[in-house]
Amino acid sequence: MLSIISAMDENRLIGTGKSLPWNIPEEYQRYLSNVKGHTIIVGRKTFEISGKDLSNDRILILSKSHSGPNYFNNIEDAISAANGEDIFVTGGAEIYKQALAYADALYISVIKGDFEGSVYFPQIDPSIWYVDHHEELAQYNYYIYRRKLIDLIN
Ligand SMILES: NC(=O)c1ccc[n+]([C@@H]2O[C@H](COP(=O)([O-])OP(=O)(O)OC[C@H]3O[C@@H](n4cnc5c(N)ncnc54)[C@H](OP(=O)(O)O)[C@@H]3O)[C@@H](O)[C@H]2O)c1
């Protein structure tokens, strides 16, 4: 099972390029708790920004410029290295775009409001994804999307 996890504003903004556009500790703690104990696939830029917050044993980093035991130069090899364990893809935008084709579920927090930044989550195509779970909280809406069965058959 491969899940994508992201927080975005109402215009799908996810980042400034150097950080998150907001500071919502409660939402960030929920993210850390969702991914805890799971294998993570993350882009090199996001790892440099926020990798220190993760206590996960297996963090597979995508990079074409760096190498090492935890580095992969394509997403397919990183997925294979997870050996069938559940994976969370934690971004950023470049990695979300590539991981969508492989994802079974999307864990999405939609932060209320409109923020400054330059990095966006790709479109979530309603012909492919349906909302399986929704919670409204004070500062954000929390959704779990799953891939439609019809898309799995095709
Ligand atoms: N709101 C959220 O939930 C959330 C989550 C994550 C990140 N973010 C934000 O997103 C922004 C960063 O996103 P980003 O799109 O700029 O960067 P990114 O996706 O984190 O990392 C991009 C890097 O990943 C590597 N890469 C990409 N595709 C690859 C492939 N197929 N094979 C191997 N390596 C590959 C390249 O590294 P090399 O340059 O080393 O080759 C590339 O420069 C930040 O602002 C961050 O705060 C937000």
pTM: 0.97
Q: Is 94 in the pocket of ligand 1 (CB under 6 A)?
A: yes
The number of the ligand 1 atom at minimal distance from the alpha carbon of 96 is 19
Instruction: Please provide residue 130's backbone torsions phi and psi, each rounded to the nearest 5 degrees.
Output: -125, 155
The one-letter amino acid code at 52 reads K
Dihedral over alpha carbons 15, 134, 34, 71 (to 10 degrees)? -50
Please give the CATH architecture assigned to the domain spanning 2-153: 3-Layer(aba) Sandwich (3.40)
* Contact (CB, 8 A) for 118 and 20: no
Q: What is the pLDDT of residues 75-88, one digit of tens each?
A: 999 999 999 999 99
Q: What is the pLDDT of residues 29-71, one digit of tens each?
A: 999 999 999 999 999 999 999 999 999 889 999 999 999 999 9
Distance 93 CA to ligand 1 centre (A): 6
* Contact (CB, 8 A) for 122 and 10: no
Chain-centroid distance of CA 128 in Å reads: 17
Q: Is 80 in the pocket of ligand 1 (CB under 6 A)?
A: no
The number of the ligand 1 atom at minimal distance from the alpha carbon of 50 is 47
- Confidence tier at 114 by pLDDT (50, 70, 90): confident
Ligand 1 atom 37, closest CA = 63
Distance 130 CA to ligand 1 centre (A): 26
Q: Is residue 153's pLDDT more than 90?
A: no
- Surface-to-core class of residue 4, CB atoms within 10 Å of its CB (0-12 exposed, 13-18 middle, 19+ buried): buried
Q: Residue 46's closest CA among 6, 80, 106, 11?
A: 6
**Domain boundary assignment for the chain:** 2-153
Share of the chain above pLDDT 70, in %: 97
Q: Is residue 151's pLDDT more than 90?
A: no
**Residue 130 pLDDT:** 97
Q: Which residue's entry shows tokens 């993210």?
A: 31
SS3 at position 61: strand
CA distance 77 to 26: 33
Mean predicted lDDT score pLDDT of the chain: 96
